[in-house]
Amino acid sequence: MDPIRMLLFLSAAVCFILGLKLLGRADTARRGNAISALGMALAVIGTLFQIQGKSGLSLDSLLPVLIGVAIGAAIGVPVARKVQMTAMPEMVALFNGFGGIASLLVAWAALHVGMARVDDGLVAASTFLAMLIGGVTFTGSLVAYGKLSGKVTAKPVLYDGQNLVNGAVLLVVLIALVWFTAAPANYWLFLLVLVISLFLGVVVVIPIGGADMPVVISLMNSYSGLAACAAGLAVENNLLIITGALVGASGIVLTRIMCKAMNRSLANVLFSGFGAAEGAGPSGEGEKREHKAMTPDDAYYILEAAQGVVIVPGYGMAVAQAQHAVRELAELLEANGCEVKFAIHPVAGRMPGHMNVLLAEANVPYEQLVEPDDVNPSMEMTDVVIVIGANDVVNPAARDDTSSPIYGMPIIDCDKARTCFVLKRSMASGFAGVDNPLFYGDNSYMIFGDAKKTVEALLAEFKEALVA
């Protein structure tokens, strides 16, 4: 059976690599997800062959795996079908956490039942790291879930000497790692650091503000992969090593992209406590400014005459579930002779790729999606920009105000367009808690209300004109 198992594991690894490649584009992502799911099925079948080879074919040996698959499917299928797009970020956070706890349990089980050859220094260190990283990933992801879902405050939770405490904990962990690697018979060390790892996950994520959650999600995704890779080394499973390395590496790359999109280092995200202090906003202490409101009826006449429109989606579009109405509006604008683009900022929404997923769900053509660098140079020639629920990623204070907490973050230059419509429920600041001068610009008009209803009102105006 061993050649069959190896073939299944090799095929699973190929599926994971190909699936990850296809997930890089919106138009091939579904196929990539299906291929990755096939790879996981092959991995489970290969594991069943491995169990059969070790203990012989028996219901007692196969039943735990089959029960686990059944329970996972019974929970996962209905949850995946019912989850709202607004809740997708916290769902991803939970997935990362479950990946981490799975690696922790593999490492603990391998050590507890003697599967891990801890007399080998590399295996002992790998077992320890799988438990450590898995524990940090689990509790850290749970905190991220709480912040994203509103069950935990989105503001950074800070206290005096926090970095000193974290440093002391890390020092204890490093000493324990060296000690356990040299003397793996000290099982109590493993259990001690297991508890410490769960504590460390909380104290690492709780000081990070809600605005930085996209970075935290991608980082926890990387941690879950690293934990799986270490668990694979602990139990000497090549497929787990390959899969963990893929997830870990892709997560690190994505984290780097997220940090670059905010013009901040990873250390700044993890340790700065961004958003902890309340401020008067980027443009001055208590300065009173007036915004200009507009109705959808009036906005229609400007859009009807536009030759170029850029739509900038944000989390508000997800909350209103307006993506399908937005796609229909884009189609009507194009039928009216207008060029339409969707400008997607890498950190728009609550997780990496959040807006891309929403627009793909609404069947927006992939070719219409552009990055800020592609659209900013021509923004002054753009007739209308429609900002739908975005805030921090279109805040000109990041470009112009050196005193702003978000100064230096690359943004979409909506304030430079000829006309800017901002669709929001109120004048409230964004997730970063920073006021936005765009709302008060000479060329900016606020259209208050539910984004979906506002877009549907615009659609009604276009359809009425077509009938007439």
What is the C-alpha to C-alpha distance for residues 255 and 261, in angstroms, rounded to an integer? 10
pLDDT for residue 452 is more than 70: yes
SS (H, E, C) the chain: CHHHHHHHHHHHHHHHHHHHHHCCCCCCHHHHHHHHHHHHHHHHHHHHHHHHHHHCCCHHHHHHHHHHHHHHHHHHHHHHHHCCHHHHHHHHHHHHHHHHHHHHHHHHHHHHCCCCCCCCHHHHHHHHHHHHHHHHHHHHHHHHHHHHHCCCCCCCCCCCCHHHHHHHHHHHHHHHHHHHHHCCCCHHHHHHHHHHHHHHHHHHHCCCCHHHHHHHHHHHHHHHHHHHHHHHHHHCCHHHHHHHHHHHHHHHHHHHHHHHHHCCCHHHHHHCCCCCCCCCCCCCCCCCCCCCECCHHHHHHHHHCCCEEEEEECHHHHHHCCHHHHHHHHHHHHHCCCEEEEECCCCCCCCCCHHHHHHHHCCCCHHHEECHHHHHHHHHHCCEEEEECCCHHHCCHHHHCCCCCCCCCCCCCHHHCCEEEEEECCCCCCCCCCCCHHHHCCCEEEEECCHHHHHHHHHHHHHHHHHC
Beta-carbon contacts of residue 332 (< 8 Å; ≥ 6 apart): 459, 462, 463
Per-residue confidence (pLDDT) for residue 467, from 0 to 100: 67
Among 12-16, 86-90, 250-254, the range scoring the smallest mean pLDDT is 86-90
What is the C-alpha to C-alpha distance for residues 32 and 360, in angstroms, rounded to an integer? 14
- Going from N- to C-terminal start, the domains of the chain cover 1-82, 102-277, 296-467
What is the C-alpha to C-alpha distance for residues 213 and 91, in angstroms, rounded to an integer? 13
pLDDT for residue 281 is more than 60: no
Percent of the chain surpassing pLDDT 90? 39
Per-residue confidence (pLDDT) for residue 11, from 0 to 100: 94
What is the C-alpha to C-alpha distance for residues 150 and 93, in angstroms, rounded to an integer? 13
> Taking the complete model, does pTM exceed 0.95, yes or no?
no
pLDDT for residue 57 is more than 80: no
Q: pLDDT digits over 134-167, tens only?
A: 999 999 999 999 988 888 887 778 777 777 887 8
Percent of the chain surpassing pLDDT 70? 90
Give me the residues paired with residue 422 across strands: 387, 446
Superfamily of the domain at 296-467: TPP-binding domain (3.40.50.1220)
| Residue positions annotated with a catalytic role | 392
Residue with the two structure tokens 């891990």: 116
Q: pLDDT digits over 315-348, tens only?
A: 889 888 899 999 999 999 999 999 999 999 988 8
Query: pLDDT-based confidence at 272, cuts 50/70/90?
Result: low
Beta-carbon count within 10 A of 328 CB: 17
pLDDT for residue 282 is more than 50: no
Question: Residues 121-139: what's their mean pLDDT?
Answer: 89
Calculate the alpha carbon distances from 442 to 205, 221, 351, 428 in Å.
40, 42, 32, 19
How is residue 406 written in tokens?
């978000």
Segment 54-59 long-range contacts (CB within 8 Å, at least 24 positions apart): none
Per-residue confidence (pLDDT) for residue 137, from 0 to 100: 95
How is residue 335 written in tokens?
């039928």
